[in-house]
Every structure is written in structure tokens, then in C-alpha cells.
Amino acid sequence: MNGWILIGTAAAASYLLRAVPLLIFRRLALAPHSPVVRFLQHAASAVMGSVIYLALFGDSSFQAPWTLIQSPGALLKLSVVLLAAGLALWRRSVFMPLLAGTALYAAALLLLMAN
């Protein structure tokens, strides 16, 4: 699976997860803390997390997961993924984890290249 297929799939899944509930639950009232509402709040963050993961590790990590540990900078990449996941769960935002993860990774790469 290449990056463009993943991005297209993520976009379609994100659109469907946002549009289908509007069509189905248009006339139904859901409690703000129901499991369905919680799932839909975290779905966009999960899609963004998969895009971040693929951008950092590539699709080879799906075929051979042990290469994650052997690749150079794996600890840095995993810390960026964990930071983005933590921010997504805490702030329930999609773009903040993306911006924070990108900034952290770019700063760490600059520091590594300077040494």
C-alpha cells in the first residue's frame, strides 16, 4: 500500500464517519457521553495517527514489523507517534498532534544533523 492509497482511504473513511452519522442520527438524539459519540470523536484522530505512522515508518513496517526497531532513528519516530497519540486523546484534536509531531520531529532532526 503506498502513501496516496492510504491518504485516499483515510479521507474516504473520515468523510463516511462524519457524514453517515448525520444521515442516520438526524432525527435521533444521542447523549453526549454515549459510546457512539465517543467513537466518532476519536475516529478522526485514529485516521490522522495512521497517516503520521505511515509517513514516519513507511509501508514496509506493515510487512516486517521487526524493522521498526532496527531502523535508525526508530526511538525518535516512536516518540513522535506516542506524542501525537497522547495529544490527540488529550485535546481531541486532529491538527494539533500533526503540527506538534511535525515540529518535534523536525527539531530533533535538526539537532541530530548539527551534531
Nearest-angstrom CA–CA distance, 111 and 104 = 11
Q: What's the Rg (C-alpha) of the chain?
A: 17
User: Residue with C-alpha cell 506493515?
Assistant: 62
Helices 74-91 and 35-57, packing angle to 10 deg: 160
Helices 35-57 and 3-24, packing angle to 10 deg: 170
Amino acid identity, residue 30? L
- 28-32, 78-82, 108-112: which range is least confident on average? 28-32
User: Residue with C-alpha cell 509517513?
Assistant: 55
Terminal CA-CA length for the chain: 35
At residue 67 the predicted structure's pLDDT band, cuts being 50, 70 and 90, is low
Q: Are 25 and 48 in contact (CB under 8 A)?
A: no
pLDDT in the model for residue 91: 78
Give me 3's grid cell: 502513501
